[in-house]
């Protein structure tokens, strides 16, 4: 459907052949890109190269690469190499993540905007002694607060937002201006049963409900600790997750596009507990050209 062009997939626990099968299926459905998070499983850029080698049209993005996990020169080398070897199909998403992730890697947490600004400068000034790719990898910054969005507007091709209400999309567009790309990562659950859908959403959001950075941003939109404690209020869940029938999910996507998003990156939630595969019914319904 218009505006939906990417999918965020967690692949660390999957057999390699299943990762490839899923990427190929997304390619057939017409999705433009698959976004891969940077956790503590497979190395992110290696995985991106593996999926790029297995596909022909699909773009592969880091969503996002933690700037504490590798230095700027390494990121510049990886982005340029993958773009060169795979016809410009690589996208570089960057972010500071959270203090817990930095300390787990043995790093001292630094002021986020300062840290990312220096990192972007390091990438821009990196002298990579390798052939030019057909096109440079676009760079998107994970940005929620105004200062990080301002940095994305000045130093990147755009921003990615994640687990933010609709009003945040409007404000992000105002800060980014008209010429930068705004990618909204939107959890979606194809389920019209409110209790089931919210239960699935609460499970998917559980780790984020404890993170101060998200709590601070939600509070800017009237979603305080009463909403983020005890598994999350219905109000919080409903503001962050698109659930319901196909029409309801399409309406939420359209609202984000109207508010200023250029692209929606779907984070698919499965309404069937312990389902063995991804919710392909949802992904087929939302695929570019569907509907």
Q: What is the mean pLDDT of residues 48-67?
A: 98
Cis peptide before 64 (omega within 30 of 0): yes
The stretch 246-274 carries a mean pLDDT of 95
Distance CA 286, CA 291 (A): 8
Q: Is the pLDDT of residue 1 over 60?
A: no
Containing H/E element for 236?
helix 234-240
Q: What is the pLDDT averaged over residues 150-159? A: 98
- Confirm if 6 and 64 have CB atoms less than 8 A apart: no
With 70 as the cut, is the pLDDT of residue 42 above it?
yes
**Per-residue model confidence as pLDDT tens digits over 68-108:** 999 999 999 999 999 999 999 999 999 999 888 888 889 99
Q: What is the dihedral of CA 23, 24, 28, 34, to 10 degrees?
A: 20
At residue 138, φ and ψ (nearest 5 deg) are: -65, 150
Lowest model confidence (mean pLDDT) among 116-130, 139-153, 236-250, 276-290: 276-290
Q: Which residue has the tokens 């972007």?
A: 120
Identify the residue whose tokens are 């209400």: 165
Res 218 pLDDT > 90: yes
pLDDT at residue 291, as a whole number: 65
Instruction: Work out the percent of the chain whose per-residue pLDDT is above 90.
Output: 92
Q: Tell me, what's the pLDDT at 171?
A: 98
Confidence at residue 221, expressed as pLDDT on a 0 to 100 scale: 96
Query: Residue 289 pLDDT more than 90?
Result: no
Q: How far apart are CA 176 and CA 158, in angstroms?
A: 7
Across the chain, mean pLDDT equals 95
Q: Averaged over 115-126, what is the pLDDT? A: 98
At 152, the pLDDT band (50, 70, 90 cuts) reads very high
Average pLDDT over residues 2-28: 94
Asked whether residue 39 carries a pLDDT value surpassing 80, the answer given is yes
Q: What is the mean pLDDT of residues 243-249?
A: 97
- What's the Cα-to-Cα distance from 248 to each of 5, 129, 192, 254, rounded to whole Å? 18, 50, 9, 10
| pLDDT value at residue 3 | 79
Burial 119-132 (b: 16+ CB within 10 A, else e): bbebbeebeeeeee
SS3 5: strand
> What is the CATH superfamily name and number for domain 4-286?
Luciferase-like domain (3.20.20.30)
């Amino acid at each position: 459907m218009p505006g939906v062009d990417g999918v965020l997939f967690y692949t660390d626990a999957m057999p390699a052949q299943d990762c490839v099968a899923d990427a190929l299926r997304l390619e057939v459905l017409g999705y433009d890109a698959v976004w891969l998070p940077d956790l503590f499983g497979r190395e992110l850029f290696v995985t991106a190269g593996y999926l790029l080698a297995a596909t022909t049209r699909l773009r592969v993005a880091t969503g996002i690469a933690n700037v504490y996990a590798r230095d700027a020169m390494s990121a510049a080398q990886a982005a340029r190499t993958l773009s060169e070897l795979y016809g410009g199909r690589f996208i570089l998403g960057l972010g500071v993540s959270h203090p817990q992730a930095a300390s787990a890697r043995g790093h001292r947490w630094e002021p986020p905007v300062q840290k990312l600004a220096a990192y972007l400068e390091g990438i821009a000034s990196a002298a990579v002694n390798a052939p030019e790719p057909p096109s440079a990898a676009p760079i998107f910054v994970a940005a929620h607060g105004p200062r990080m969005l301002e940095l994305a507007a000045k130093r990147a091709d755009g921003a990615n937002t994640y687990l933010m209400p609709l009003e945040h999309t409007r404000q992000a567009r105002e800060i980014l201006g008209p010429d930068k790309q705004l990618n909204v990562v939107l959890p979606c659950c194809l389920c019209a049963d409110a209790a089931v859908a919210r239960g699935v959403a609460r499970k998917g959001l559980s780790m984020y409900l404890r993170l101060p950075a998200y709590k601070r941003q939600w509070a800017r939109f009237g979603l305080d600790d009463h909403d983020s404690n005890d598994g999350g209020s219905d109000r919080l869940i409903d503001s962050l997750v698109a659930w319901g029938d196909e029409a309801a999910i399409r309406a939420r996507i359209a609202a984000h596009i109207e508010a200023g998003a250029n692209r929606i990156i779907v984070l698919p939630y499965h309404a069937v507990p312990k389902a063995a595969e991804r919710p392909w019914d949802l992904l087929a319904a939302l695929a570019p050209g569907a509907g």
